[in-house]
């Protein structure tokens, strides 16, 4: 299965990245084709709402930035994993820009499944990210929910939590 992970963490050695790496480690055991995009190292502007993609652009965004590298991957992806630390009850701004720009494709051709990985300093702050995941991905794009994985406080980078992510990846 082709899996795309959009990692919204600005920290290359942070909690979210550790969770992503554990998931990848497990998923690779079943020979899945995995692409991790660290969106914070990309230059991705927010959606302009210009509708070029749905009129003259025929599914192509008018903005010529690093999202152009991600669109072909998205078009072949069967599963998308959104990964982010939770800042102010939602995804990082960088991940939000990438999510909004998926609009240009309407629905990626082969996309069937989705999962969510979130980390935080405290519990009970995931509501905004979970709401968007459920409404923008599961319901709107009609994707199968493969799970929501969260960690907060001391759970972050704990062997128990990382094993949970490895097992999830390996279960696919």
**What is the Cα 32 distance to its own chain's centre?**
16
> For residue 58, what pLDDT is reported?
87
The stretches of 60-133 forming alpha helices (DSSP H) are: 67-76, 93-101, 127-132
Whole-number Å distance between alpha carbons of 6 and 172: 18
Look up tokens 């927010």; give the residue. Answer: 46
Q: How far is CA 25 from CA 18, 119, 155, in A?
A: 11, 18, 19
* 3-state secondary structure at position 143: coil
For the stretch 60-65, contacts whose Cβ atoms lie closer than 8 Å and that sit 24 or more positions apart, written own/partner, are 60/104, 61/101, 61/104, 63/101
Q: Is the dihedral of CA 6, 18, 135, 97 positive or negative?
A: negative
> For residue 90, what pLDDT is reported?
94
Q: One digit per residue, pLDDT tens: the chain, 172 residues? A: 999 999 999 999 999 999 999 999 999 999 999 999 999 999 999 999 999 999 998 889 999 999 999 999 999 999 999 999 998 889 999 999 999 999 999 889 999 999 999 999 999 999 999 999 999 899 999 999 999 999 999 999 999 999 999 999 999 9
Whole-number Å distance between alpha carbons of 5 and 136: 16
């Amino acid at each position: 299965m082709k899996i795309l992970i959009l990692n919204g963490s600005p920290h290359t050695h942070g909690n979210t990245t550790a969770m992503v790496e554990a998931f990848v480690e497990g998923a690779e055991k079943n020979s899945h084709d995995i692409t991790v995009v660290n969106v914070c190292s990309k230059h991705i502007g927010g959606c302009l709402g210009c509708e070029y993609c749905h009129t003259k652009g025929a599914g192509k965004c008018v903005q010529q930035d690093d999202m152009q590298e991600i669109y072909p991957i998205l078009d072949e992806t069967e599963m998308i994993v959104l990964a982010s630390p939770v800042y102010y009850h939602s995804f990082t701004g960088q991940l939000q820009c990438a999510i909004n720009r998926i609009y240009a494709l309407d629905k990626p051709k082969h996309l069937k499944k989705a999962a969510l990985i979130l980390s935080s300093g405290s519990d009970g702050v995931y509501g905004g990210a979970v709401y968007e995941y459920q409404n923008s991905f599961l319901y709107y794009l009609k994707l199968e929910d493969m799970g929501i994985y969260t960690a907060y406080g001391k759970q972050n980078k704990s062997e128990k939590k990382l094993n949970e992510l490895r097992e999830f990846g390996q279960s696919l």
